[in-house]
């Protein structure tokens, strides 16, 4: 050991003792850390796994299951995997991710023949699925519009609040759901849009709103877009369920296309978790429409710079799967068929759940089960009724009464309907 090193150690010991008091015991560093509250969605999945009951039903997390309640790997994904097997290197992707994947993904949101794509006006990077896209955007918003806020619908996906909170963006809310009609509170929503300060940021669900399953009609989207124009608001679309609302990804992008027709410069988060079943692959895309190519180059470079200290570059495997599927016309056709198959099974289960409840003689209205769309049914069950479903019937769902219709099967729909009927009897 050199004299210099020994000297510095000595000095450090003296200065710690003199200025910082007695040295901390090794075990005291994290004594103040309390356990984090359970995640309202993923916590339900954990509780389900821990339940040994053979009758247990998981309609909590939004993850698609087949009619036997089993996770699904799409046939197009299996085929892409076969093509990859043994042929892929494990090199880093660039900071912005796979160019091919991003190119194909933009076509899904903005349209195959989009002029914005042709004119290179979209800054886009591969993201860690939809959550990562939202978070990257929130960080971008904080860095380049530091005094802005975000308007979030009531209710919304619980994680939206965490994302913008951790990006230190103040949150405001706007009316969305109307509990009495179990539909959209359009007048109150429009009032909130009009009353927000000019140039506000709004988070919109492009389709299959999570958790309510309630979307504006095409006409209503036009009015919303018009009002955004009048107020100069910025629309950030979270499109986590493209294809799950109607069974057709093109139709499900209608809200975005309406905003583009009106010339809005939007932001958009896309995810392949649901519509390609690539949940654990964490593959998605963040895009920001810019005024011109020069601006898009600058914005993309900043998005990459935000990504670099967080995760450096995104994972490669899922991106290759998506690129293979979307750039091969036959595989893309197969994917579209499989998305429709998933959406149709869910629609079938909506009908079955409603019919079962009606057959049991429930005098309550269950019309909303078939009126709402996408992966979720916002049942109207109270937190207490949800607690009874879980404790007495081993049925797991979030306490806001959201039922993931993707977990309903011909095998469990009768059991589920009966349990819902029993716990809602006192309200009948
Ligand atoms: C959900 O809403 O259940 C899904 O988006 C899964 C998640 O990460 O919360």
Query: Closest ligand 1 atom, CA of 240?
Result: 5
Answer yes or no: 39 catalytic: no
300 is catalytic: no
> Given the CA of residue 130, which atom of ligand 1 is nearest to it?
5
Q: Is 192 an annotated catalytic residue? A: no
Residue 210 alpha carbon, nearest atom of ligand 1? 2
Return the pLDDT at 426. 77
- Spatial distance between the Cα atoms of 5 and 23, rounded to a whole number of angstroms: 20
- pLDDT value of position 178: 96
Domains of the chain, earliest start first:
40-72+342-423 (3.90.1150.10), 93-327 (3.40.640.10)
> Which protein residue's CA is at the shortest distance from atom 5 of ligand 1?
62
- The catalytically annotated residue of 164, 215, 274, 335 is 274
Catalytic residue among 139, 192, 238, 252: 238
Please tell me the distance between residue 274's alpha carbon and the centre of ligand 1 in angstroms: 10
What are the pLDDT tens digits along the chain (428 aa)? 444 455 455 544 544 444 555 566 667 899 999 999 999 999 999 999 999 999 999 999 999 999 999 999 999 999 999 999 988 899 999 999 999 999 999 999 999 999 999 999 999 999 999 999 999 999 999 999 999 999 999 999 999 999 999 999 999 999 999 999 999 999 999 999 999 999 999 999 999 999 999 999 999 999 999 999 999 999 999 999 999 999 999 999 999 999 999 999 999 999 999 999 999 999 999 999 999 999 999 999 999 999 999 999 999 999 999 999 999 999 999 999 999 999 999 999 999 999 999 999 999 999 999 999 999 999 999 999 999 999 999 999 999 999 999 999 999 999 999 999 999 987 76
Atom 1 of ligand 1, nearest CA residue = 62
pTM of the full structure: 0.93
The closest residue, in CA terms, to atom 2 on ligand 1 is 62
Whole-number Å distance, alpha carbon 88 to ligand 1 midpoint, is 30
Residue 225: both structure tokens together: 């877009």
Distance between Cα 129 and ligand 1 center (Å): 11
User: Is 401 in contact with 177 (CB distance < 8 Å)?
Assistant: no
The residue contributing the CA closest to ligand 1 atom 4 is 62
Say what the pLDDT of residue 23 is: 63
The ligand 1 site (C-beta within 6 Å) comprises 41, 61-62, 157, 159, 210
Exactly one of 157, 164, 221, 335 is catalytic; name it: 157
Contact, 299 vs 289, CB < 8 A? no
């Amino acid at each position: 050991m050199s004299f210099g090193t020994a000297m510095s150690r000595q000095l450090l010991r003296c200065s710690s003792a003199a200025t910082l008091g007695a040295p901390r015991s090794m075990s005291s560093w994290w004594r103040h850390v309390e356990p984090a509250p359970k995640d309202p969605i993923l916590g339900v999945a954990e509780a389900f796994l821990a339940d040994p009951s053979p009758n247990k039903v998981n309609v909590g997390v939004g993850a698609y299951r087949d009619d036997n309640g089993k996770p699904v790997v799409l046939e197009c994904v299996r085929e892409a995997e076969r093509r990859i097997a043994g042929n892929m290197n494990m090199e880093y992707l660039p900071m912005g991710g796979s160019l091919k994947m991003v190119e194909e993904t933009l076509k899904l949101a903005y349209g195959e023949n989009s002029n914005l794509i042709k004119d290179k006006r979209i800054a886009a990077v591969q993201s860690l699925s939809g959550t990562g896209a939202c978070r990257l955007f929130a960080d971008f918003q904080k860095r380049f519009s530091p005094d802005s806020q975000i308007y979030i619908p009531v209710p919304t996906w619980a994680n939206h609040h965490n994302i913008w909170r951790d990006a230190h963006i103040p949150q405001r809310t706007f009316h969305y759901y109307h509990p009495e009609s179990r539909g959209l509170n359009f007048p109150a929503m429009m009032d909130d849009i009009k009353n927000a300060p000019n140039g506000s940021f709004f988070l919109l669900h492009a389709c299959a709103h999570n958790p309510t399953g309630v979307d504006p009609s095409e006409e209503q989207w036009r009015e919303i877009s018009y009002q955004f124009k009048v107020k100069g608001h910025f629309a950030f679309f979270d499109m986590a369920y493209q294809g799950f609302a109607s069974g057709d990804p093109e139709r499900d992008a209608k809200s975005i296309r309406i905003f583009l027709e009106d010339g809005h410069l939007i932001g958009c988060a896309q995810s392949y978790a649901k519509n390609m079943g690539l949940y654990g692959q964490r593959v998605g895309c963040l895009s920001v429409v810019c005024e011109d190519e020069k601006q898009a180059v600058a914005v993309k470079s900043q998005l990459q710079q935000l990504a670099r200290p967080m995760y450096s570059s995104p994972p490669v495997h899922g991106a290759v799967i998506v690129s293979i599927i979307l750039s091969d016309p036959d595989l893309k056709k197969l994917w579209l068929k499989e998305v429709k198959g998933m959406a149709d099974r869910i629609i079938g289960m909506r009908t079955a759940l409603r019919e079962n409840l009606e057959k049991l003689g429930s005098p309550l209205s269950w019309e909303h089960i078939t009126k709402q769309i996408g992966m979720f049914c916002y049942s109207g069950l109270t937190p207490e009724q949800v607690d009874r479903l879980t404790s007495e019937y081993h049925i797991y769902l979030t306490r806001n009464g959201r039922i993931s219709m993707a977990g309903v099967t011909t095998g469990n729909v009768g059991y589920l309907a009966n349990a819902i009927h029993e716990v809602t009897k006192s309200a009948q």
